[in-house]
Amino acid sequence: MSSHNAAPYYFVPGPSRWPMLGGLSLLITMIGASAWVNDASWGSTVNFIGIACTLTVLYFWFGDAIKESEGGMYSKRIDHSYRWSMGWFIFSEVMFFGAFFGALFYARTITLPWLGDLDHKFIWPDFVAQWGNSPAGTIEPYTSMGPFPIPTINTALLLTSGLTLTIAHHALVAGKRAKTIVWLAATVLLGAVFMGFQAYEYIHAYHELNLKLTSGIYGSTFFMLTGFHGFHVTMGAIMLGVVLVRLMKGHFTPEHHFAFEGAAWYWHFVDVVWLGLYVVVYWM
C-alpha cells in the first residue's frame, strides 16, 4: 500500500462498489416513490428501503474518502479539486432555487395581472388581481404569512449561526480544537432551533391560518420555497454534524480541513437563500 507520508501527485481511488450500489439504491428509492405517489400500498416501504440503502452507501463511501484523507493520500491538488467542485455544486443549488424564485416572480408579476385583466373577465368575472387570491374562488380563505415574529427570529438565528461558524473556523485555523468544537456545536444547535421554529410555523400555518400547500399559487410557492430551504438547512446541519464528530475524533489540521470549509460554504449559501426568502416571501 501507499506510503503515508508523501501524498501521490493526484490520488485516484481504486475500484469501488459504492457508486454502483448507490445507483441501485436510487433505483429502489425512485420505484418506491413512483408507487407511493400513486397510492400503491407497498410504495412507501420500498421508498424507505431505497433511502436507507442510499444513506448506507453514502456512509461507507464517505468513510472511504475520510480514510484516504486521514491516510494522507490527498495532496494540495486534490484539495483544490474539492474546492472547485463544492463551488460548482453550490452554483447548481443556486439555479435550483432560482427555478422556484423565478416561479414566484412570474406568478406574481406576470400571471396575476394577466388573470385580472379585462379580457380574462370572460373566464374569471369576479377575480381581483391581488396576490394570494384564486381566480376561481376554489381555494379556502387563508391568511398569508408575515415576517413577524418567527421569520424574523429565524433570520436572526441563521445570521448568528453564520457568525458562530466563522468563529469556529478561526479557532480551527488557530489550532484550538476545543474552541472549534464548542462554536461548531453552537452552530448546529442554532440550525436545529431554526428548524424547530420552522416546524412550528408550518403547524401554525396549517391550523390557525388555514394556509396549506393547496392554498393556490401562494401556498405552492410559500411551502415549496421554505420547504426546500428547510431541507437544505437540515442537510447543512447534518454535514456540520459529521464535521463535528470528525473534529471530536481528532480529524483535520489547521492547514487541511476542507470538509469543514465545504460544509461552511454550504451553510453560508443556505443562509443567503434564507435572506432572499425573508425579503421576497415574507416581506413583499
Partner 1 sequence: ADSAAAATEYSKATGGTGGPVANQLNLQPPATKIATEIYDLHNLMMYICLAIFIAVFGVMFYSIFKHRKSLGHKPATFHESTAVEIAWTVVPFLIVIGMALPATRTVVAMKDTSNADITIKATGMQWKWGYDYLKGEGEGINFISNIATPRSQVGSPGVAPTEKRSDTYLIEVDNEVVVPVNRKIRIVTTANDVIHAWTIPAFGVKQDAIPGFVRDTWFKAEHTGVYRGNCVELCGKEHAFMPIVVRVVTADEYTAWVDKKKKELAALADDPNKTWTIDELKTKGEKVYNTNCVACHQATGKGVPGAFASLDGSAVVNGPKADQIHVLLNGQKSGKFPSEMPAWKQLSDTDIAAVITYTRNSWSNKAAENIVQPAEVLAARK
Partner 2 sequence: MSTTVDHAHDHAHGHDHAHDHPHGLQRWLFATNHKDIGTLYLWFSFIMLLSGGVLALMIRTELFQPGLQFFQPEFFNQLTTMHGLVMVFGAIMPAFVGFANWMIPLQVGASDMAFARMNNFSFWLLPPAALLLAGSFFVPGGATAAGWTLYAPLSTQMGPGMDMGIFAMHIMGASSIMGSINIIVTILNMRAPGMTLMKMPMFCWTWLITAYLLIAVMPVLAGAITMTLTDRHFGTSFFNAAGGGDPVMYQHIFWFFGHPEVYIMILPAFGIVSQIIPAFARKPLFGYASMVYATASIAILSFIVWAHHMFTTGMPVTSQLFFMYATMLIAIPTGVKVFNWIATMWKGSMTFETPMLFSVGFLFVFTMGGFTGLILAVTPIDIQLQDTYYVVAHFHYVLVAGSLFALFAGFYYWGPKWTGFMYNETMGKIHFWASLITFNITFFPMHFLGLAGMPRRYADYPAQFTDFNSIASIGAFGFGLCQVFFLFFVVLPSIRGGKPAADKPWEGAEGLEWTVPSPAPFHTFEEPPIVK
Q: Which of residues 43-102 bind partner 2 (CB under 8 A)?
A: 61, 64, 67-68, 71, 73, 77, 80-81, 84-85, 88-89, 91-93, 95-96, 98-100, 102
238 binds, among partner 1, partner 2, none (CB under 5 to 8 A by kind): none
What string marks each residue from 77 to 116 as x (binds partner 1 by CB under 8 A) or -? -------------------------------------xx-
Q: Which does 122 bind (CB under 5 to 8 A by kind): partner 1, partner 2, none?
A: partner 1
Alpha helices in the chain (DSSP H): 18-37, 43-70, 76-106, 112-116, 150-173, 177-204, 216-248, 258-277
Cα–Cα distance between 9 and 11 in angstroms, integer?
A: 6
Residue 204 interacts with partner 1 (CB under 8 A): yes or no = no
Smallest distance from partner 2 to CB 213, Å: 6
Q: CB nearer to partner 1: give 42 or 200.
A: 42
Among 9, 122, 250, 255, contact with partner 1 (rule: CB under 8 A): 122
Q: Which amino acid is located at 95 in the chain?
A: M
Partner interacting with residue 12 (select from partner 2, partner 1, none; CB below 5-8 Å by kind) = partner 2
Query: CA 25, CA 23: separation in Å to the nearest integer?
Result: 5
Asked whether the bond before 149 is cis by omega within 30 degrees of 0, the reply is: yes
Candidate list 83, 108, 120, 204; residue touching partner 1; CB under 8 A: 120
Name the 3-class secondary structure at 15.
Answer: coil
Q: Please give the residues from 11 up to 50 whose contact with partner 1 meets the rule CB under 8 A.
A: 39
Cell digits of residue 128: 381581483
Residue with the three cell numbers 452554483: 91
Report, in Å, the least distance between residue 229 CB and partner 2: 13
- Asked if 125 interacts with partner 2 (CB under 8 A), we say no
**Contact present, 236 and 262 (Cβ < 8 Å):** no
> 127 or 183: whose CB is closer to partner 1?
127
Q: Which does 119 bind (CB under 5 to 8 A by kind): partner 1, partner 2, none?
A: partner 1
Torsion of CA 176, 178, 183, 188, to 10 degrees: 130
Q: Are 252 and 172 in contact (CB under 8 A)?
A: yes
Q: Which is nearer to partner 1, 191 or 216 (CB)?
A: 216
Q: Identify residues 126-155 at the interface with partner 1 (CB under 8 A).
A: 135
Residues 6+ apart with CB under 8 A from 269: 90, 93, 94
Query: Cα(144)–Cα(164) distance, rounded to whole angstroms?
Result: 32
Shortest Cβ distance from residue 136 to partner 1 (Å)? 8
Region from 86-94, 119-127, 171-179, 218-226 binding partner 1, contact rule CB under 8 A: 119-127
Residues 6+ apart with CB under 8 A from 277: 225, 226, 229
Let me know: does 228 contact 100? Beta carbons within 8 Å.
yes
# of chain residues touching partner 1 (CB under 8 A): 9
- Provide the binding-site residues for partner 1, judged by CB under 8 A: 39, 114-115, 119-120, 122-124, 135
